Chain A
């Protein structure tokens, strides 16, 4: 199992995947907003989304798990 972490603190602006979706390596899965800027969070590896752990509007800290892949 692999996780996608928040690389910096920010607010979840958009979620591009659902549970069960197949993602490719480098695909942007979540868009964070930090300091009035959009920061894309990419999947480091390909896999199937098992759980999206955040909702749009949530505030996340650096290192928080955004979603899990298998």
Chain B
């Protein structure tokens, strides 16, 4: 590990996560000569990342609130092991400002933005206000939280149906519901408020105008502690089911260079407005006329960061660690180049017809490997996918010179991939890849619903 003028060195990091992302972080740490400490629940003892880490500590029973969300225990282990940094990965505690604060107070560096920034962006109502003030376009909607259903209905009348009713503390597809009319809004208001309270600890809800035929496009940004903010281009994440991403690509077909440039600028503006540090993603919704609106900012490494790594040939986890050490960004905007096209598939243990989870033992697993294909897997053959965590078993990232070649390579990869013992969404992914909408690249966030309705 290099010592720099301003920075300090990390020689040991604790990874407060599990599965594929823990493996991913360990890989970079090894390359940088940094020791790793992994944590695992009783259900995950046999997972690859537990073996890959230099040290692994069991932190409790399978349910996340008895293991991976146990902040004090995680920090105790970190202190005992003498680590200088904690990498939160994504999900779990990664966007929990209380955790970021506890880590900071214990004298350990949280590899991510400050607790204040996590707070500001975590509350969706506050984040919208902040972005409006910074001149970043937001989806037309309520600026303040809605107290009661009457207020919600009055507001929806003003902006017009359909509307999205969202929990202020929500994110990642949980705590939001589409309402076609006043009746639906009446029906869902109280339950959304109650669910928001039980899931996120706050019952704040707000309304946004529903943008149909929308694309979900996000900009990867990176900021150091010296006020430098750069972007690493965009990712198109419009293939979603129940607001969860399934296929992501970089770059995005049928989006003008002019619009992309404006989106990069807006993303950098957003990051600067909250004094951002480390890796972050600014999510936008883009309508048919290429108007774009701020949706939310993810104050962490994204699941789909590998597509950006494939087209830029950079290691974002390495950058995260360097920036956390106080170093300057290794490249300036001018020096960051992109090439080719990358597609990421999220392979879920789920029934491709009902979309319900399919936990079980992976009896056989072989990937259709080829040049330019990267697999970030959380499991290996013979292991059991348990019902306690999200159903993603691996991310498959495919790179090629052009989008067309990339799709072809992805299809070949899936034909040669075998997973047995559990049901996976591979047949469904194949169905999407074959569809005319995906092939010509002009598709929207409703692509899965559209394909399902054709099927039935």
Contact = CB atoms under 8 A, between A and B. Distances in A.
A8 interface: yes
B359 A9 contact: yes
Contact of A8 (B63, B387, B389, B390): B387
Nearest to A9: B387
A36 B370 CA distance: 32
A35 B63 contact: no
Contact of B391 (A9, A11, A37, A59): A37
A34 interface: yes
Interface residues of B, number: 13
Contacts of A35: 349-350, 357, 359, 387-391
Contacts of A34: 356-357, 359, 387
A53 B357 CA distance: 23
A37 B63 contact: no
B391 A36 contact: yes
Given A8-B356, A8-B357, A8-B359, A36 B63 contact: no
Interface string A1-32: 00000001111000000000000000000000
Contacts of A39: 356-357
A39 B357 CA distance: 9
B359 A11 contact: no
Interface in A19-70: 34-37, 39, 59
A9 B384 CA distance: 13
Nearest to B389: A35
Contacts of B356: 8, 34, 37, 39
B358 to A, nearest CB: 8
Contacts of B357: 8, 34-35, 37, 39
A11 B386 CA distance: 12
Kindly name the residue among B350, B387, B390, B391 whose own CB sees the greatest number of chain A CB atoms within 10 A: B387
B306 to A, nearest CB: 21
Contacts of B391: 35-37
Nearest to A40: B356
B111 to A, nearest CB: 24
B431 to A, nearest CB: 20
Interface of B: 63, 349-350, 356-359, 386-391
Given A8-B357, A37-B357, 8 more contacts: A34-B356, A35-B357, A35-B388, A35-B389, A35-B390, A36-B390, A37-B356, A39-B356
6 contacts: A8-B359, A11-B63, A11-B387, A35-B359, A36-B389, A37-B391
